Amino acid sequence: MNPILKNILAVIAGAVIGSLVNGGLILISSSVITPPEGADVTTIEGLKASIHLFEPRHFIFPFLAHALGTFAGAIIAVLIAATHKMKMAMIVGGLFFIGGFINVMMLPAPMWFNVTDLVLAYFPMGYLGWKITGKK
């Protein structure tokens, strides 16, 4: 297969798998850590209206979802990519960073969470996904 096409498919597969991991963790989060009383976490509007009720523990799963989704996506991209494996992992990290940045713009989460999420959940996890595979 053409290496460029294989690299494009690697990034797409990484983004899809990473999104599934992210979504799965978000889906189970409310059964592991119960949302605050009266909080509607099923819609953006509900989150906006009730995010002021959230305690730091309520931000654990969103962070894990963002970080582990990016990490899984980067690993998939590295395993599939024909060349430039680190770049493919970082592209996946960049795609997830864009999603995280959009999330920051949409939701009035505390600044400590926004900074932690944007700084630690995307590019470092993309790099770690590349590094842990041992693929050079």
**pLDDT for the residue numbered 21:** 98
Q: Is the pLDDT assigned to residue 64 strictly greater than 80?
A: yes
Q: What average pLDDT score do residues 41-60 get?
A: 92
Give yes or no for residue 107 having a pLDDT over 90: yes
For residue 124 the two structure tokens come to 């470092």
State residue 123's pLDDT score: 98
Res. 3: pLDDT tops 70: yes
pTM equals 0.94
pLDDT confidence bin for 126, thresholds 50/70/90 = very high
Confidence at 40, pLDDT banded by 50, 70, 90: confident
